[in-house]
Amino acid sequence: MSCISLMAEFSGLAYYAEVPVVIFDIQRIGPSTGLPTRTSQADLGFVYTLSHGDTKHLVLLPGTVEECYEFARDAFDHADRFQTPVFVLSDLDLGMNLWMTPEFKYPEKKFDRGKVLAKDDLEKLAGEWGRYRDVDGDGVTYRTLPGTDHPAAGYFTRGSGHDEMARYTEGADAYARNMDRLTRKLETARHELPAPVVDEKGSPIGLIAFGSTDAAVVEARQALDEKGKNVDYMRVRALPLSDEVARFVARHERVYVVEQNRDGQLFDLIRLALPAALVDRMRSIRHYNGQPIPAGAIIEPLMEQEAVPT
């Protein structure tokens, strides 16, 4: 929705200065003010790289009301662990309409604050630490919180170029080193994000969707089953994409990506991530009129494309 555009600059700042933050985007249909009381899934590509420069974010894609609740909780842990913005992409249909849901479970898991150095840690290190120094090789660095009572606790962070000690620099090597570390960090995070949910019975046809499209997919698969057309299903739940996606595509002859935007944004992201040999297996089904996607908007285009000999 439009306010996510307004916060693009801050998103880049949080990515580069490595500030944990959780942002919920209840997607409405754009561009611009668009249809402000109607739903869509068209912020996916934009949010993933929100802000100028080489910026990339962690994006969680809840598909049910229960997942919105669970991902909200987990998003804070991911943000603290990876010290980066975490976007939770819901949509107007999921976020503002009434849904039935199983009762939410009490949050048992302890909070994960990630790599935070307290006073004792700094004393053990004799103050030897750097805010952006990759000690563990996973791209995730240590931080202190303002107010920590140790002379080495303070650091000066910024949205401008910085080295391992958080000092301003326009040095070519320091810049590239830092950007490569950020890539490494996101790669670490990628393996920790919610894995795709897969329901597979050995069909040659696969279907990939995310978010609130799930409800329509469930209904469509049932109807297709009745027509004798069995379709396997993978629901993607996070960006950057899991390696499971390429494996799912490799197990199927044709894979339909179903989503609620005009340009096939997830379809594009998946094709970019696939080995070249698998790209031709991808098909796209798109729904973009502001109304929640109905099952028919999946069944008809899928049957149509299946009828054409490949």
The tokens describing 180, both together, are: 């490569």
- Cβ nearer to another protein, comparing 103 with 226: 103
Answer yes or no whether residue 112 interacts with another protein by CB under 8 A. no
Answer yes or no whether residue 171 interacts with another protein by CB under 8 A. no
Selected from 10, 24, 175, 288, the binder of another protein by CB under 8 A is: 10
Q: Edge-to-edge, what's the strand order for the sheet holding 58-60?
A: 35-39, 21-29, 85-91, 58-60, 238-239
Pattern of binders to another protein over 14-33, x per CB under 8 A?
Answer: ---x----------------
Answer yes or no whether residue 97 interacts with another protein by CB under 8 A. no
The Cα–Cα gap between 5 and 230 comes to 40
Site for another protein in 254-273 (CB under 8 A): none
**Residue 250: CB partners within 8 Å, gap ≥ 6?**
278
Selected from 53, 146, 202, 309, the binder of another protein by CB under 8 A is: 146
Q: Which of these segments, 30-38, 39-47, 139-147, 180-188, binds another protein (CB under 8 A)?
A: 139-147
Tell how strand 21-29 and strand 35-39 pair up.
antiparallel
Cβ pair 265, 285 in contact under 8 A = no
Q: Which of these segments, 159-167, 175-183, 192-200, 203-211, binds another protein (CB under 8 A)?
A: 159-167
The Cα–Cα gap between 184 and 270 comes to 20
Answer yes or no whether residue 231 interacts with another protein by CB under 8 A. no
Answer yes or no whether residue 275 interacts with another protein by CB under 8 A. no
- Cβ nearer to another protein, comparing 133 with 167: 167
Nearest approach, Cβ of residue 17 and another protein (Å): 7
Please work out the total of residues on this chain that contact another protein, with binding judged by CB under 8 A. Answer: 28
The Cα–Cα gap between 210 and 193 comes to 14
Cβ pair 208, 258 in contact under 8 A = yes
Q: Which of these segments, 148-156, 229-237, 240-248, 297-305, binds another protein (CB under 8 A)?
A: 148-156
The Cα–Cα gap between 204 and 232 comes to 8
Q: Which of these segments, 6-14, 239-247, 274-282, 294-302, binds another protein (CB under 8 A)?
A: 6-14
Cβ pair 199, 217 in contact under 8 A = no
Cβ pair 284, 297 in contact under 8 A = no
Q: Phi first, then psi: what are they for 264, rounded to 5°?
A: 70, 60
Answer yes or no whether residue 145 interacts with another protein by CB under 8 A. yes
Interface residues toward another protein, by CB under 8 A: 9-10, 13, 17, 103-104, 106-107, 110-111, 145-160, 167-168
